[in-house]
């Protein structure tokens, strides 16, 4: 059974209409024959469905219509055409800093965000300690929210959304918040949530994140649907090649070709890099500096195939050469 179903969803923005310019400006432009409106389709005929436990990765360049589509799914916007059907409660992280009050404390804002998501005080009392520990803000509970860094604000928002047990979790460029350690923790938490049966949607410019977490891919470009598939690897490869060549596929055959081109290009780049590393080693050896060459070789191998190294032997060699 589908948890989220979009059927020919189209969303139109209108600029210059009465709501955008106000009554006074509208009257003046009418009287001067200077009134006109501009229509812009942010999304056009988007169709897909995902099941319970799916993680949909939405990819596409800036301006593709990704965030606008998320707003329609969460109910923030109503599609101009088509329909969106959602089964279950949604926790959405679209704009991490929104929905907080800068003049309230971290603790007060945690309860405020929980209330906005529809959770009771009793439920938040049970979850609050877990939220603070996950967001690593134990020393900042009584700080005003406006005193926090942007990364700390993002961590709090992410922790609340992930720990209040939604049926559907929507993430728009939020797994990149915080430092490297917190990004890893965020990714691990997402895997745990998905394993529990929660349905997710992830918008990210990080293809490695999408490859790791997504079970289905929706590719958008300038508001149009390029493809929807459960072949995550092929779709991500093709998108990676599109970013390099700007060649957009029009069918699955072209998508597969782009994927193969991407694999070949990455392989060639890897071989070229390795050739440069070998050339560098050869120059060091020609200069007769054996120790420097060995250290350079160890560095290269540790990055490429660390399993080949015997750390005890390396340590012993260094001790002998430094003595």
Contact status, residue 235 vs residue 216, Cβ threshold 8 Å: no
Q: Quick count: other Cβ atoms within 10 Å of Cβ 146?
A: 11
The answer for residues whose C-beta is within 8 angstroms of residue 78's C-beta and 6 or more apart is: 72
Contact status, residue 59 vs residue 210, Cβ threshold 8 Å: yes
Contact status, residue 84 vs residue 73, Cβ threshold 8 Å: yes
* DSSP-based three-state secondary structure for 51: strand
Q: What is the predicted pLDDT for the residue at 237?
A: 97
The answer for residues whose C-beta is within 8 angstroms of residue 153's C-beta and 6 or more apart is: 96, 97, 100, 145
Q: Which domains does the chain have, with CATH numbers?
A: 2-248 (3.40.50.300), 263-322 (no CATH)
* Burial of residue 176 (number of CB atoms within 10 Å: 0-12, 13-18, 19+): middle
- Name the maximum alpha-carbon separation found in the chain: 92
175/183 Cα distance (integer angstroms): 6
- pLDDT average per 10 residues of sequence, the chain (323 residues): 93 70 68 73 95 93 91 91 92 68 92 82 92 92 90 83 78 66 76 82 88 94 96 97 95 97 94 81 66 67 62 67 63
Q: What is the predicted pLDDT for the residue at 244?
A: 94
Looking only at the bridges linking them, the beta strands covering 224-229 and 216-221 are antiparallel
Prediction pTM value: 0.73
Q: What is the predicted pLDDT for the residue at 222?
A: 94
Q: Which of 101, 97, 76, 234 shows the shortest CA–CA distance to 174?
A: 97
């Amino acid at each position: 059974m589908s948890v989220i179903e979009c059927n020919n969803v189209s969303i139109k923005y209108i600029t210059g209409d009465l709501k955008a310019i106000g009554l006074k400006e509208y009257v003046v432009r009418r009287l001067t024959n200077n009134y006109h409106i501009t229509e812009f389709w942010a999304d056009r005929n988007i169709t897909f469905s995902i099941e319970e436990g799916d993680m949909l990765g939405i990819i596409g360049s800036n301006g593709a219509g990704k965030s606008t589509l998320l707003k329609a799914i969460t109910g923030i916007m109503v599609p101009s055409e088509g329909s969106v059907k959602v089964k279950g409660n949604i926790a959405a992280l679209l704009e991490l800093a929104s929905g907080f009050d800068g003049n309230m404390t971290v603790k007060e804002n945690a309860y405020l965000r929980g209330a906005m998501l529809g959770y009771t005080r009793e439920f938040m009392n049970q979850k609050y300690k877990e939220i603070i520990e996950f967001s690593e803000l134990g020393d900042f509970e009584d700080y005003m929210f406006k005193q926090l860094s942007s990364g700390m604000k993002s961590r709090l928002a992410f922790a609340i959304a992930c720990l209040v047990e939604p049926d559907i979790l929507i993430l728009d460029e939020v797994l990149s918040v915080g430092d490297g350690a917190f990004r890893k923790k965020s990714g691990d938490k997402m895997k745990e949530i998905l394993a529990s049966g929660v349905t997710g949607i992830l918008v990210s410019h990080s293809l490695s994140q999408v490859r790791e977490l997504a079970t289905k891919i929706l590719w958008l470009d300038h508001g149009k649907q390029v493809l929807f598939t459960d072949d995550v690897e092929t779709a991500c490869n093709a998108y990676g090649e599109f970013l390099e060549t700007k060649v957009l596929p029009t069918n699955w055959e072209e998508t597969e070709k782009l994927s193969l081109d991407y694999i070949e290009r990455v392989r060639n780049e890897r071989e070229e890099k390795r050739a440069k590393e070998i050339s560098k080693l050869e120059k060091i050896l020609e200069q007769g500096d054996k120790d420097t060459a060995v250290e350079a070789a160890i560095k290269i191998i540790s990055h490429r195939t660390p399993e080949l190294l015997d750390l005890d032997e390396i340590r012993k060699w260094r001790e002998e050469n430094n003595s």
